[in-house]
Amino acid sequence: MATPVLQFKRGAFSNLPALKAGEPGFTTDKFDLYVGLDNVLANNKFVGSHRYWTRETASLGSGVNLVESTSGTDFITLASPASLSGITTYTFPATPTNGAFLKTNGSGTLEWSTQIDNPTFNNANLTGITTIGDTNLDVNASAVDFAGIVTFSNTTQSTDKDTGAVVVEGGVGIEKNLSVGGATTITGNLFVGGTSEFIGVVTFRGGTINLGDADTDDINVAGEFVSNLIPNVDNTFDIGQGTDPKRWRHANFAGVGTFATGAVADAIQIGISGASEIDTSSGNLTLDSAAGTVIVDDQLSVTGVSTFTGVADFNGGATIDNIQIGISDNNEIDTSTGNLTLDSAGGTVIVDDQLSVTGVSTFTGAIDANGGATIDNIQIGVSGDNEIDTSTGNLTLDSNGGTVTVDDNLNVTSGNTLSQADLTQFDVLVAGAAGAVNDSGGNLTFNSNVLTVVNTIDVTTVEVTNVKAKDGTTSITITDGNGNVGIASDLTVSGKLTVLGSQTEVNTETLLVEDSLIEVGLINSGGSLVPPTADANIDVGLILHYFDTAARKAAVYWDDSVTRVAIASQVSESSSVLTAAAYAALEIGALWVNDCAGQSQVISCTGSERFLENITIDAGSF
């Protein structure tokens, strides 16, 4: 069972009221707890406060807070260490001693003292010249240990090994980093007279790094480069020297060598006959003689005649302004000395622009217009303008059983015979209409017992008095004058049933509804029921009629005026607005509430005992 929440009376300390005897009060700004004595403010008893102590954690011990009197927010904490071997007691001296400090004797007894034995300096600041020897003249100790940061504020510059703010006569062992000058901006100088050996990673940051000061100095790189070699200025520095000469011997490149101004000079030169030209008079220039692929990434311009002994393969396509084979005139194809064959291997020839054929074209095979063809005039055996002359042959449309679509009028001048199979499907049959099925009297007669219409039959008016079953039983009657419809037997509606009117009466003893949800309060919009789009200021619900000394109405409804569900034992109704004269009692076995706190049970019962759950009992604020 969820435990109810019981809250004390609470508020700011300045608003603390006089508490009744035993009444608790908590100050939310000072965290003080008070208990009332006799309903007198001055007699409220202070029980405790979080301000005066600090609770222990996993890494810190608890402490006592000594709170200031000025604002009561700052304090001094006397805390226990995180771990103790047992209970320890510290005993303070009875009276203070001027200029002394507290010193323990090891058993917990504290005393005032001015003597330091074997000190350890942590973050010491020594402002003058400090000499530390075995006898330690300035500090009364046999040994000194600087455990923290030591700062020497003397600014004496060092000019040799015996001058400066700190002079060390013996060797110096440094386990950590050594910085000369600032931590981020190095301003000091480092002079090393002998041989220096760096073991590990050495980083020189910023400025210029000089290796040697003359060309007589040797630089020996025994390791390997693990980075790029990039000059700081483009097209300025050389590798090797061509005047002495001092040149590099071999250059090995595993990848591509890129030369911005050419490989040798400005171009590739084989037998130079002119500037930047390739002269093959004394030898051939062979590209990819091993049957590989030569890629020209830019445009290839050939001024003279190019001869392709083998096959010219344009995988990506070729754009050619003029195709000339046996030239007899400008931009013409002369096949008098040979044929022009397009796609002799059975592929597809695509003409992306118009193909204009002036003379007669002969198609020996079939013409396949997969995407359709638009032809102004079809002429077969021309006998007149735009006519089809079938005197020497037939015109067959869709002999394979497909569909022939005539988008415009089809005029048949002479007699044509249409079989019954030709008249099986019409989208709309309209009798006596121009351009449709029409006879001289405006009648359309079907010589058949049964008329089957596959798609649509369009009739302006159907006049009927009775609709009967096939055996002659009257099922539906339509009354002249008012058009009332009567159903003589059961009515089964498989689809939706829409009733438009101001009132619907169901005079039955038992109403059976299969639907699990019943919706009320919808509005009529164009013959369809839709949710309301504006507040109609009406109530929506269920009215229950009963008798109690008189006919009365009870209701379970949505009260629009207060925007909540109401349960009333007596209501009156006017224009779909209910007015409750008395509200009804509610009898339940348990109570669940689903609100801002989520869904939870607030009243439950076990055995003969009721429980109040998930409830906060608020004593209020002050």
Structure confidence by residue, pLDDT tens digits, 567-585: 999 999 999 999 999 999 9
Q: What is the pLDDT of residues 319-375, one digit of tens each?
A: 555 455 445 555 455 556 555 555 545 566 666 656 665 555 666 556 666 655 555
Residue with the larger pLDDT of the pair 566 and 387? 566
Q: Check pLDDT > 90 for residue 76.
A: yes
Q: Report the distance separating Cα 6 and Cα 615, nearest Å.
A: 9
Q: Write down the mean pLDDT value for the chain.
A: 74
User: Strand 24-27 and strand 9-11: pairing?
Assistant: parallel
pLDDT, position 71: 79
Q: What is the pLDDT of residues 197-219, one digit of tens each?
A: 888 888 887 778 888 888 788 88
The percent of residues above 70 in pLDDT, for the chain, comes to 59
pLDDT, position 348: 66
Q: Check pLDDT > 90 for residue 186.
A: no
Q: Model's pTM, two decimal places?
A: 0.34
Q: What is the pLDDT of residues 402-448, one digit of tens each?
A: 565 655 555 555 555 444 444 444 444 444 444 444 444 445 555 44
Q: Check pLDDT > 80 for residue 94.
A: yes
282: left (phi over 0), alpha (psi -120 to 50) or beta: alpha
- In angstroms, the Cα distances linking 595 to 29, 252, 394, 542, 601 are 30, 78, 85, 24, 11
Q: Report the distance separating Cα 5 and Cα 613, nearest Å.
A: 9
Q: Report the distance separating Cα 404 and Cα 398, nearest Å.
A: 6
pLDDT, position 341: 58
Question: For 373, what's the count of Cα atoms within 13 Å in the CB-facing half-sphere?
Answer: 9
Residue with the larger pLDDT of the pair 72 and 42? 42
Residue 33's nearest CA partner among 13, 18, 4, 15 is: 13
The percent of residues above 90 in pLDDT, for the chain, comes to 23
